[in-house]
Structures are given as structure tokens and as C-alpha cells.
Structure 1
């Protein structure tokens, strides 16, 4: 009888050790603890599949602010540099930089941790879903929320300490000076910001005031800057001024409609993508003149457009030499002068020669 009682006690003890704590939904914005089920694991050789599965069986806590960084694959660029900050109060910030495309996406929102799966929620943007494979590593999941089995890197690694998000980015917008105050309206978002009077703003302000045609007028400008935080959330801090684009307007990104008045960024030369950090751009003005930047040099010329036909005169250019952009610059300027037809199709401007597309441009967002 004692043996039976002893056996029942051991059975009950083992049963109690294997029980998992009950899970209750956590209020949004609070820390979530995910218990890990204990299962029998067979020893298997390392491969892409086993590397994509969780190898750290500790509980996952987001009870402190943390940063994750890494470079993830990109379909048409060398990679996407990610910087993700998770805050213990349920907020997140993310910076995605598309390498060689001069495109930076800054997004804020709230996170939700469901078991080990991390959801990043924002109403305007669709963001990837991640899984904690350990307390120090996230891996991106596919559309079905399954691990991606690939030899390419889909991991973000945790930094030793919280790192501030770099919020600087290229911008295109309307700049205006009224008395001692300057403002900038971002074309992409329509948000208006006062411009901080810093040393990096001075060259821009000086160029504006020296051009009599711009006095009191709003002019499209390109620059690199950041929006302040807290009390400065309506203030633009300029990091670098690029140039003014007289005769341009804020583009209609989904339906530009007209060749004229839009700052066009070269996207492709034939079937070859143009690295966006070269900032190859052109503006066709209403007065039959055009000007722009070809990756190293500034240029200007006259042109004629009748219906869809196009004829561009020889370009007048500055004479700098830039090794990294010389080939792109040569192909772009040659194609611009050889084009015989221009069409706006969807949101793209296509230039043709003998009925073949030799160049495709998109409205510049920055």
C-alpha cells in the first residue's frame, strides 16, 4: 500500500512539473512574457532549417527598451539596413534604408508580442513580422508567419544598449522665407515645418535671399534634414542643403500627368537601375528649357516638345570628374539628347529612341 502511494506521489509531481502556466491576454502596451513549451528534441545536424528555429529556450521579456539592427535582403537593391527600437511601453520606431536607392522610411507605431512572434502595427505602412529566436536575435517571417529558409540573412541582432534612431533623410519640399522666419512644406506628406536657424541652414537662406526672383515666393528645394522631437516636433533641422528647383512644383506621385514642372529622378537606363544616391535628376520647364544634375555635373539645355515628340539640344555642363558616376552620367546625358519621344505612363516618364524605351524616370520624392 505504501508503494502505491509513493508511486502516485511521483506521478503527480512529474505531472505538476510539465504543466504550462495559463496565458491571459496582456493589455496593449504592457510587457508580455512568453513561456516556452518543454518538448523532447532529437539531435539533428545543423542546416538552414535548424538555424531558422529557436535555439534559446529562455522566456522572452520586453521589460526594457532595446535596439535591433541588421541588413536584410532587397529585391532590387544591395540590401535594406534596418534599425528597430522596441520600447517597454508598447511603442516602436523603425528606420529602413534602401541601400543605393537613397530611400529612407521612418515609421512609428505599437508592437504586439504573440508567443514569440513580434507584430509591428502602423495604419499607413505594412511592416514585416519577426520572431524571437533568442532574447538577442529576431528573424523575419514570411507572409504566412513562417521562418524563411534561405542562405541569405534575415536576422536582426540586439545591440548591447539602446541606440537612437537616425531620423535624417533626403527631402523635397516648398521652402519660403518671410521676414526672419523660414518654413518648409514636405511635398510627400504635406506637413509644414518651421526651419531652425542653424549653421547648416545659413547657405540655403543666403542663396534664397540673393535670388531676387525668389523673394517671398515658395520654391521647391532638395535637402537632407530631420524633424525634431517633443517641443520641436514642428521644426525642421537642416543637415545639408542641396539646391533650389525654380519652375518646379510638388509632384502628384500617383498621377503626374505632365512632363513639365516635375523634378524627375532617373530610375532606369534601358534595363539598368540607376543608384539613387547619385541623385540623377532633370526638370523640364514650361519655357522650353531644362536643367538638372547628372550624378557629378550640373547641366542645362533647351528642348522642343510637340505632342509626344521630343528634341533636346546639346547640353551645357560643368566640367567636374567623378570616377564613381562617370559611366552613369555619360549614358544619361547621351540618352537625354538622343531621345525622340516622351510619354508619361502611370507615374513614370519614359523616354524613347526608335520606339524603344531608353530611360525611365519617376517623380523625385527627395
Structure 2
């Protein structure tokens, strides 16, 4: 009987000790999980991303939307677009952009507010347009949602 109690007691103590290892994370630990380490390679700190990006994005009722997006190291952008084969004016916007916590995506700010329709994943030599939820666009048209870098800002990286 004594051996049985010792075995059950030992199992109970091991369970208590193992349960203590799953202590809730502190606020600092939770924040640190979302912020890339200084030594972690991200698009922001590893790529020559500042420069000019151009491409033609898909359009439902025209041949495409011609886009030119200029990003600079100061965190500002100039955006120009027009609907091809339409008599519509060119859209010009300028403002700032912010990096998401991952360090690989940016979101353009519009009047000081994040513009969910203007999110991009920064990759080597290009920007991938993301959907309104910040997710990658998938399917047959996915390759058409890429703006190629046509000019690199001097001193970039």
C-alpha cells in the first residue's frame, strides 16, 4: 500500500510541476513575440525596397489599372494610377506608409488612417498587392497583382 501511495504521489507531483511550466505570458513576452528581433531578417531590414514600383493590376471592365508607386526611406509614398483605355483622370495620392509587425508588409496611410485596400508584401524586387484583409491573393490571377521595382533609391538598404 505504501509503495502504491508513493507512486501516485510521485505522479501527482510531476503533474503539478509540469503544469507550472505553462504559466501565462507577461505583457512584455506577448509584445516581444509580435516584434521582429533586431537580428531577424525581414523585408524592411534586408532588402533594397525603397524606390519605384510599376505594373498593371487587373480590372473588371478595362484592360487594367496602370500603377506607379514610389516608396522612400523616410516612410513616404507617391501613388499614381489610371484606368487604361478610359478617359478618367489619373489618381494621385501621397502620404506615409507603415510597416506591419512582421517587417515584410506595408500599408499605405490615407489621411492619417491605414488604407486596408492599399497593403503590399515587400519581396525581392517587387511588391505583391494584398487583399483587403492583408492576405496574399491566390488563384490564376495572383501573378498579375505584382508591381515590379523599376528604380532603386540610392543608398537604399
Work out the CA distance in 2 between the residues paired with 1:148 and 1:24: 23
Aligned-residue offset at 1:101: 1.6
Deviations 1:300-351 (A, max 9, x none): xxxxxxxxxxxxxxxxxxxxxxxxxxxxxxxxxxxxxxxxxxxxxxxxxxxx
Aligned-residue offset at 1:135: 2.6
Q: Calculate the aligned-residue CA RMSD, in Å.
A: 3.0
Match of 2:77 in 1: 92
Considering only CA atoms, is the larger Rg found in Structure 1 or Structure 2? 1
Match of 1:35 in 2: 40
Aligned-residue offset at 1:161: 4.1
Work out the CA distance in 2 between the residues paired with 1:36 and 1:61: 13
The two structures have a TM-score, normalised by structure 1, of: 0.27
The two structures have a TM-score, normalised by structure 2, of: 0.60
Match of 1:102 in 2: 87
Match of 1:151 in 2: 140
In structure 1, runs of 5+ residues without a counterpart are 1-21, 26-32, 38-55, 163-366
Contact 1:119 1:129 in 2 (8 A): yes
In structure 2, runs of 5+ residues without a counterpart are 1-31
Aligned-residue offset at 1:80: 0.5
Aligned-residue offset at 1:102: 2.4
Select 2:118's aligned residue among 128, 144, 168: 128
* Higher RCO (C-alpha 8 Å, min separation 6): 2
Deviations 1:131-160 (A, max 9, x none): 01x231111111211110122200001114
Residue correspondences, number? 112
Greater fraction of residues in helix: 2
Work out the CA distance in 1 between the residues paired with 2:41 and 2:152: 26
Which runs of structure 2 are paired with 1:203-282 in the superposition (5 Å)? none
Match of 1:71 in 2: 56
Match of 1:137 in 2: 126
